[in-house]
Amino acid sequence: MTSTEKTGFRAEIEKLVASHALHGSESLCKLLRYLGRQALDHPGVAVKEYQIATEVFGRQADFDPQLDSMVRVQAGRLRTKLAEYYNTEGVSDRFVVELPKGSYAVSYHERPATTTPHGNGTPASTWASSPVESPASAAKRRYLVASLSVALTLTLLLTGWLVWTRGSSGRMPDAVAGDIAAAPIRTFWRGFIHGPDEPWVIFSNAQFVGAPTSGMRYYDAARDGKTPILDHYTGVGEVLAVHNLDVAFATLHQSLRVKRGSLFSLDDAKNNDLIFIGSPGENLTLLEIPGTKEFSFRRVPDGPRAGNMEIINTRPQPGEAKNYLANPSNVQMLEDYAVVALVKGINPEHSELILAGTTTIGTQAAVEYVTRESYLQELLKKMNVTQSSELKPFEAVIQVKVARGVPVESTMVALRILN
């Protein structure tokens, strides 16, 4: 393989890792990158199942492939995801990465050129002669297209599918049952969940007036009175957030129950661990139950930013801001802020996890913060937590860098560990 081909191979691997097909599955991304490196560094050398188990998935030295099919299951899932990618978002890709059945050797090749007629009947190749698109550009393009194309009304379809696939038995879908949670994810979420019952995910379900065809806005009780309310819209960030949680819980072999905010009741709060997705401005149920005290949400009362949501730092520490606001709504968003908080519920035997941004993008980032290994590793380190039993209630603020409507990087800017 020439140096140019190696560069193209690496680019294709990273493009796959950034794709929607593999988004949220860190174990499959880790496996794909490992097999890609092996193909480049040791061409023609077969990769052993034991090697993958110990070097990729952290299995102990006594791992026995005859007794544990984990590697084969993961490889099968990766093949399925690759096929899914090349049949959907990668259908026009010039190059293809494959993992042939019965082997752990990743291959890379150019698709055979096919021809399609121009309007004048002259055949034209479907492949352009331009170089391979960079992973960063491809990822940004795909996320932008996806963000613009996701209709807000798909939220209920998504959550309905999640509830249907989970069912009351709590059984995980077969397609994800073989995935494995990273250590920081296991530590954090096992520290949050109390008892055998699955937690409830309550996603924001803000009240609107108006109509999609003529314009909609948030309901204002003083202004709108008995105007009919629309409560079946929510943000794109919340949709992706529910998906991210679902994927993370699949790796834990744990199920979720999903409910929209307008249908949530105090009985739910008394009897279950709860995950709230969205700020009190969107997820109005947060106004009725115990919430954050160190970092609270409010709408800016006056001035040029009146009506925008902000996070108030009730007791600023040295170097901390007194409040946190996203970019103004009339300019391109480059920055947002979100709260990630674990607090005691109405019933102290249960907990609440609040994941809320000042905008829908910040909310998506808050959920990513508690479902990605690197972010949770940072959080647990700052809290000095090494095992689930050590996890204490806390409140934190994260700063979110945004590119083309997608959260790309989050950094913790304030943390309070509660008693």
**What single-letter amino acid sits at 322?**
K
208-254 residue pLDDT tens: 778 777 787 777 777 877 777 666 667 788 888 888 898 888 888 88
Residue 138 scores a pLDDT above 70: no
Q: What pLDDT, on a 0 to 100 scale, did the predictor assign at position 180?
A: 65
Q: What pLDDT, on a 0 to 100 scale, did the predictor assign at position 129?
A: 36
Residue 108 scores a pLDDT above 50: yes
Cα 136 to Cα 100: distance, rounded to the nearest angstrom: 27
The region of weakest confidence among 231-235, 249-253, 270-274, 411-415 is: 231-235
Pairing status of strand 351-357 against strand 274-277: parallel
Q: What pLDDT, on a 0 to 100 scale, did the predictor assign at position 369?
A: 96
Q: With cut-offs at 50, 70 and 90, classify the pLDDT of residue 260.
A: confident
Q: How far is CA 231 from the centre of its chain?
A: 24
CA proximity to 156, closest of 211, 203, 210, 199: 203
Q: What pLDDT, on a 0 to 100 scale, did the predictor assign at position 178?
A: 42
Mean pLDDT of the chain: 79
Is the Cα dihedral 147, 151, 156, 161 positive or negative?
negative
Cα 146 to Cα 67: distance, rounded to the nearest angstrom: 41
Q: With cut-offs at 50, 70 and 90, classify the pLDDT of residue 308.
A: confident
| Bridge partners, 338 (sequence order) | 357, 398
140-190 residue pLDDT tens: 444 443 443 444 444 444 445 444 444 433 333 333 334 567 889 999 998
Which of 62-66, 136-140, 228-232, 386-390 reaches the highest mean pLDDT?
386-390
Q: What pLDDT, on a 0 to 100 scale, did the predictor assign at position 395?
A: 96
Q: What pLDDT, on a 0 to 100 scale, did the predictor assign at position 264?
A: 72
Q: What is the pTM of this model?
A: 0.57
Q: What pLDDT, on a 0 to 100 scale, did the predictor assign at position 181?
A: 72
- The pair phi, psi for residue 380, each rounded to 5°, is -65, -35
Cα 345 to Cα 270: distance, rounded to the nearest angstrom: 7
